[in-house]
Amino acid sequence: MSLETLIPSLILFPWLGSILVWAMHDRNEKRIHMTASVVSIICALVSIQLTFQIGNQKIVYYTFGAALGELSFSADAMGVILVLIANVIGSLAVIFSMDYMQGERNLSRYYAMILLFIGAMSGLVLTANIFIMFFFWEVTALCSYQLISFYNDDPNAVRGGLKALLMTQFGGVGLLFAALMIFNQVHSFDLNVFAEAAVNVDIEQGVLALIGFSLIIAAAAKSSQFPFFTWLPDAMEAPTPVSALIHAATMVNAGIYLLSRFFPAFAAVPAWKETMIWVGLIGILLTSILAITTYDLKRVLAYSTVSQLGYMFVAIGSGSVLAGQFHLLSHAIFKALLFLAAGAVIHACGTRDMRSMGGFFKRTPFVSTSFLIGALALTGIPILNGFWSKELILESVHKESSTLVLILMLISVGLTAIYTLRCFKMVFMGKNDYAHLHPSPPAMKTVLGILSIGALTSWIAISWFSESLKQTLPYHAIESLNVTEMAHHIFSDPITCFALGITTIGFLIAWLLPKKEFPESLLKLSANSFGFDSITSGVVQSIIASAERIRCIQTGILNWNIFGLMVGLLGVLIILFMGR
Amino acid sequence: MKPSTILAILLILPIFSSAPVYFFGRIGMLRSKGKPGEIAFFLALASVLITFIFFALAVNEFFKTGPIDIYYGSIKLSFDAISLVMSGTLLLLTFVVILFSPVYLSEELNQEKYYAQVLVLMTSILGLTCATDLFNLYAWYELMAISSYSLVSFYCKTLEPLEAGIKYLVQSAAGSSFIILAIAILFGGTGEVAIPDLQNAVSGNSTAIIASVALFVIGYGIKAALVPMHFWLPDAHCQAPASISALLSGIVIETGLIALLRSLSVFKNTSLPIGTLFLIFGALNMLVGNLSALRQKEIKRMLAFSSITHMGYIVLGVGFALTSATSAQMSDGIFIHIFNHAMMKGLAFLCIGALFYYLKIAHGSREPISVEDLNGISQHYPLFAFCLSVAVLALGGLPLFSGFISKWKIMASGAVASGAWNAILIIFLGLNSVLSLGYYAPLVNRMYRIKGAGADVIAEKQTVSKMIIFPLVILTVGIIFFGLFPMVLDRFSEAAKNAFYTMFY
Amino acid sequence: MISKIIIFGIVGLMGIGIYCLMITRNLPKVIVALQVLIKGAMIAIIYAGDISGNMDLAQSMALTIIVADTIVAVIGLALAIQAREKTGSSKIQSISNLKK
């Protein structure tokens, strides 16, 4: 297939599938499962086909209308890799759902939203028009919100969904503003036109900085970074396959994608890169501590997602887009694996509270092994994919950033080891109180198996990965690496030994950590995300209070209404006389 | 047929047909036992459809030869691109409203009056958008107001609709007197009322001119629901029958804005800060509308406040266009948003009307639909739930739906002109859009619950009439279609934008 | 001199109308205040016709305004009467249920 048919089919095919699934209502459960899986598997195959087209010419379909630009797409490596992740992990999540969501109501809505999301994600990363990008950006927010609050009867789910929607939309204003400022400067929505103008210093520095920082706001909100990191843990009310797909592997990567894509344009803006490093770093440290103190299995994983995304922020901030993108790939695989394995555990025992879990290793060895593989990749144990990408990031930090940043990063490596082992110990070791566990069905096991293999081997692709990035993104200063070069880079850097040593210390601490509960005050603080939830709710409360206050002007008494009219007249007269 | 004949028929057909609709409808009501409004409904529908044919002919002529003019003595009526967009929106909305009405109103008396008045309302808006002199504009405007007063109080068995009608009447009539005074000032100074003549005659910024600008802004601003002249709107829009609310929100307040713009185009050679005025009103409308809607329990009232917000978006677009010529070159978003808002708000009100009918009227209740009533309705009325979700998410400005596109266009028109205030207002608009999701999105969550609070009422589910489904489906499909293929409207909005540009530059 | 008296009359009538609309608590009186307000504006139109020398146009405008304003008064009074039947009082406070 040629590029002209591949790209639209990646967007339109899942969308048509979504309409089809929606139209099926809930009449025949099995048929809905089958249709959704078939559609998503075809998408995955098409996306694999797309990887052979990397670097092909840009294609334009038609003019979308005045003030909207052209519907144009380009298949550069950065986009194609995210398409691959979205579609392949998407299809795995859908297959996993066949067992996980069995017997649920409203399945048509569930699958329709997932398919809509997959199509939108492909569109978001393939387009070369910033308006169309914003369009898909918002569609993914819509799907994410609908899926988080899939269990609409549960008030927590509704609250989580609305929180995610409003916070990412708040960030969306940043992207919107950036897009419009770009339009103001270059009179085009084409990303490449803007990138060229920015590299050639055709844009005023102040405006460029404004655009750059708006984009950081947008990315931080979408990728759930400091100070917006509180929505992702609350999004864990979604069905687990959704958490794996949207809130670990794909949508949250959109922010990273955005910053990587625009990196060359803003690299010279003072304090832009530093801001990114510190946004990432603060997020990493806060959420690593939160992950140690929570008892909810999915929240541990959510916090760890925030902190891993923070690593990517730091990587981009240190100027290494390659390391950031490579960690994005590794993280998508191992975090999807962790979430789905956790989903299998939750499916088996019916709770998310780690305190009432234990001893799964003996009962469900397959699921436990795959979780272990994911956990080891997360902590960065050699030869798993997480090790390579994390070390690449640490190496770039070592080269480019200050010692303080490096020390804090190493501390966070230790914290990662602590929360991962603590979580593993609580869930899989120890004794088991369950009389009956649901066995894990075959579809779940297949998916976990595929992802485990991915986590073990995906790093081998580094030479293809770096080469295609280098070819298609000339401005990003990407060096091409092959496996031996990468190994040489990493093992010749003393930081690697430090990191591994600190990981070991972290494991020891977690192993020796007393099983006692944490003090009440600490738990309270962590439940409140170190006060950031209070800030959010404070903002919400003050908006509600001002809403109540402003409603009082609607007195309902005719005389006051006429008075309002006269106030208006007076105001208009004043403005007119002042502006005369 | 000559173009002027087509236009003449287009303008007079609805008002002339309203008399037979009333007369035969009355006879039909007195004779029939089962369906009192049937004859009036069919006549009104036929009238709308025939009007639509003449509208299509007029559009065709417009694109061939440009604006169509007719003269009655010294009065000139001109069908230009702005009239085209407004009449197209009006006809679409009236068509779905009339289709929706027979089932929705089947329990009411006096249906023939309803249909007849809707037709009068239609004529007045068609005429208003074509008027080219200030007094003619006022006359059509007064006709529109008069026909909508009693439509607001259509449910005259209870007190609240009467209250809303009285408030609406008093405020609107007070506004009319301001407009008359403004016309008198200009007329006394120049001896003219025709807009093109006045454009040449009016210049400078004397106190008299400032006074007439202010009086126009207040007078028509009442009808366009500019804050703080908006107090009548939430009452009127939540107490009118849902189909009338759809018309009032979808087209009547926008027509007020068009009348205001036509009147203010007289002052194009003065140096008054009219654009700034619109920017301020836009910001106020967005903020007050959103904050007031945030805590509403009654959905129609929430939607009414949301109309104030959307007027804010439109008025902000006008403000951008009036403060900078580059923005005015891109101001087609204003007209697209007027069209899209008519569809979105029309759909939202009609869905609420349909739910009101099946959940309340069919059970002998007249309580307004509150947010709690929406709990779990997707289980029994999946179509209504879907349509209402589309409507509110589109109003909230999420993509796939048309509201996203037009909002973006308004912001883009502001962004082409450099200036810190434009940037701040764009961010303000974006934040308001997010805030509005704070009350739209929970509605969707409520509808897709599995357990409903009003389970006992829903238990005796009614079969839904096709007559109610059809208008909802038309609007839903339209919202999604224009959300994905906005370029279909470009031809019309470009023309309207050019007409708007020549009005002020 | 005459012109000053007329302008004074116009401003006076409209001022009284607005003032009464803002303070009157009785529905029929509100309608009367509205009438006073519109009459002031109508005198303005006629006076404008006089000073601009276009009396024909002014006459036809004034006639239109009279018609419109009568219809408004009729509908307003009709609504007021119906409201009074429901509440038993013609106070404005009795029709202030719609608020917030």
Task: Determine how β-strand B75-79 pairs with β-strand B68-72.
Answer: antiparallel
- DSSP-assigned states of every residue in B41-52: HHHHHHHHHHHH
Task: Determine how β-strand A70-73 pairs with β-strand A59-63.
Answer: antiparallel
pLDDT given for residue B461 in this prediction:
62
pLDDT given for residue B453 in this prediction:
54
- Determine whether the interchain pair C18/A562 forms a contact, defined as Cβ–Cβ distance below 8 Å: yes
- Determine whether the interchain pair A558/C99 forms a contact, defined as Cβ–Cβ distance below 8 Å: no
CA distance C65 to chain A (A): 21
Indicate the length of chain A as a whole number. 580
pLDDT given for residue B454 in this prediction:
54
- Which residues of B fall within a CB distance of 8 Å from C87? 159
Taking the C-alpha atoms of B447, B450, B456 and B459 in order, what is their torsion angle to the nearest 10 degrees? 90
- In chain A, which among 341-360 make CB contacts under 8 A with chain B? none
Mutate to test the interface with A, among B291, B309, B375 (most CBs of A within 10 A): B291
Taking the C-alpha atoms of C84, C87, C92 and C97 in order, what is their torsion angle to the nearest 10 degrees? -130
If you measure CA to CA, which chain C residue comes closest to A567?
A: C22
Residue tagged 């107001």 (tokens): B145
Query: Is residue B248 within 8 Å of B122, Cβ to Cβ?
Result: no
- Determine whether the interchain pair B231/A109 forms a contact, defined as Cβ–Cβ distance below 8 Å: no
- Alpha-carbon torsion B362, B364, B370, B372, what sign? negative
Nearest CA among B495, B299, B493 for reference residue B392: B299
- Determine whether the interchain pair A170/B427 forms a contact, defined as Cβ–Cβ distance below 8 Å: no
pLDDT given for residue A516 in this prediction:
67
CA distance B59 to chain C (A): 31
Beta bridge partners of B75: B72
Element (H, E) at B7: helix B3-31
Distance CA A564, CA A555 (A): 11
Residue type, A14: P
Largest interatomic CA distance in chain A: 84
pLDDT given for residue B293 in this prediction:
93
A247: its two tokens: 């809130």
A24-to-A19, A28, A41 alpha-carbon distances in Å:
9, 8, 19
Distance CA A169, CA B397 (A): 11
Distance CA B450, CA B473 (A): 24
Query: Is residue A68 within 8 Å of A146, Cβ to Cβ?
Result: no
Q: Is A366 exposed, middle or buried (0-12, 13-18, 19+ CB in 10 A)?
A: middle
- Determine whether the interchain pair B382/A25 forms a contact, defined as Cβ–Cβ distance below 8 Å: yes
- Determine whether the interchain pair C53/B142 forms a contact, defined as Cβ–Cβ distance below 8 Å: no
Largest interatomic CA distance in chain C: 51
Distance CA B426, CA A428 (A): 52
Beta bridge partners of A353: A296
Distance CA A239, CA A220 (A): 24
Distance CA B332, CA B313 (A): 13
Q: Which chains touch C (3 or more CB pairs under 8 A)?
A: A, B
If you measure CA to CA, which chain C residue comes closest to A564?
A: C22
Cβ neighbours around B33 below 10 Å, total: 5
pLDDT given for residue A433 in this prediction:
67
Distance CA B261, CA B177 (A): 18
- Determine whether the interchain pair A557/C92 forms a contact, defined as Cβ–Cβ distance below 8 Å: yes
Q: Is A370 exposed, middle or buried (0-12, 13-18, 19+ CB in 10 A)?
A: buried
- Which residues of B fall within a CB distance of 8 Å from C72? 142, 145-146, 149, 169, 173, 176
Query: Is residue A535 within 8 Å of A229, Cβ to Cβ?
Result: no
- Residue numbers in chain A where pLDDT is lower than 70: 433-435, 515-517
If you measure CA to CA, which chain A residue comes closest to B484?
A: A64
What are the residues whose beta carbons fall under 8 Å from the beta carbon of B196, sequence distance 6 or more? Answer: B132
- Determine whether the interchain pair A559/C22 forms a contact, defined as Cβ–Cβ distance below 8 Å: yes
C-alpha radius of gyration, chain B, whole number: 22
- Which residues of A fall within a CB distance of 8 Å from C97? 556
| B174 vs A142, A565, A576: nearest CB | A565
- This complex has an ipTM of 0.96
Q: Is A314 exposed, middle or buried (0-12, 13-18, 19+ CB in 10 A)?
A: buried
- Residue numbers in chain B where pLDDT is lower than 50: 455-456
- Determine whether the interchain pair B427/A158 forms a contact, defined as Cβ–Cβ distance below 8 Å: no
A128: its two tokens: 């070369």
Mutate to test the interface with C, among A552, A557, A561 (most CBs of C within 10 A): A557
- DSSP-assigned states of every residue in B423-488: HHHHHHHHHHHHHHHHHHHHHHHHHT-SS-TTHHHHHSPPPPPHHHHHHHHHHHHHHHHHHH-GGG
CA distance C96 to chain A (A): 5
- Which residues of C fall within a CB distance of 8 Å from B233? none
Nearest CA among B192, B30, B7, B43 for reference residue B115: B43
Distance CA C66, CA B173 (A): 13
| C100 vs A551, A559, A562: nearest CB | A551
CA distance B22 to chain A (A): 33
Mutate to test the interface with C, among B187, B238, B292, B300 (most CBs of C within 10 A): B187
* DSSP SS3 for A558: helix
- Check residue B205 and report its DSSP letter: -
- Determine whether the interchain pair A551/B205 forms a contact, defined as Cβ–Cβ distance below 8 Å: no
- Determine whether the interchain pair C98/B193 forms a contact, defined as Cβ–Cβ distance below 8 Å: no
| B163 vs C34, C57, C98: nearest CB | C98
- Check residue B268 and report its DSSP letter: G
**Angle between the A272-293 and A520-527 helix axes, to the nearest 10 degrees?**
130
- Tens digit of pLDDT for each residue in B367-396? 889 998 888 888 888 899 999 999 999 999
Q: Would you kindly state where each structural domain of chain A is located, as residue ranges? A: 271-513, 539-578
- Determine whether the interchain pair B228/A568 forms a contact, defined as Cβ–Cβ distance below 8 Å: yes
- Alpha-carbon torsion A50, A55, A60, A64, what sign? positive
Interface of C with B (CB under 8 A): 10, 14, 17-18, 21, 27, 30-31, 34, 37-38, 40-42, 44-45, 47-49, 51-54, 57-58, 61, 64-65, 68-69, 71-72, 75-76, 79-80, 82-83, 86-87, 95-98
Residue tagged 């006692």 (tokens): A516
- Which residues of B fall within a CB distance of 8 Å from C57? 74, 135, 187, 193
pLDDT given for residue A175 in this prediction:
94
- Which residues of C fall within a CB distance of 8 Å from B135? 57, 61, 64
B160: its two tokens: 């609240």
Query: Is residue B319 within 8 Å of B279, Cβ to Cβ?
Result: yes
- Tens digit of pLDDT for each residue in C48-83? 999 988 888 899 999 999 999 999 999 999 999 998
A457-to-A330, A333, A335, B56, C20 alpha-carbon distances in Å:
10, 10, 15, 65, 84
A284: its two tokens: 């990493």
A506-to-A379, B462, C87 alpha-carbon distances in Å:
10, 64, 77
Cβ neighbours around A102 below 10 Å, total: 14
pLDDT given for residue B456 in this prediction:
47
Distance CA C74, CA A352 (A): 69
B199-to-B181, B194, B500 alpha-carbon distances in Å:
18, 9, 14
Q: Which residue has the higher pLDDT, C1 or C42?
A: C42
Side-chain half-sphere of A402: how many Cα atoms within 13 Å? 8
- Residue ranges and CATH numbers for the domains of chain C are 2-94 (1.10.287.3510)
Beta bridge partners of B79: B68
Distance CA A332, CA A305 (A): 10
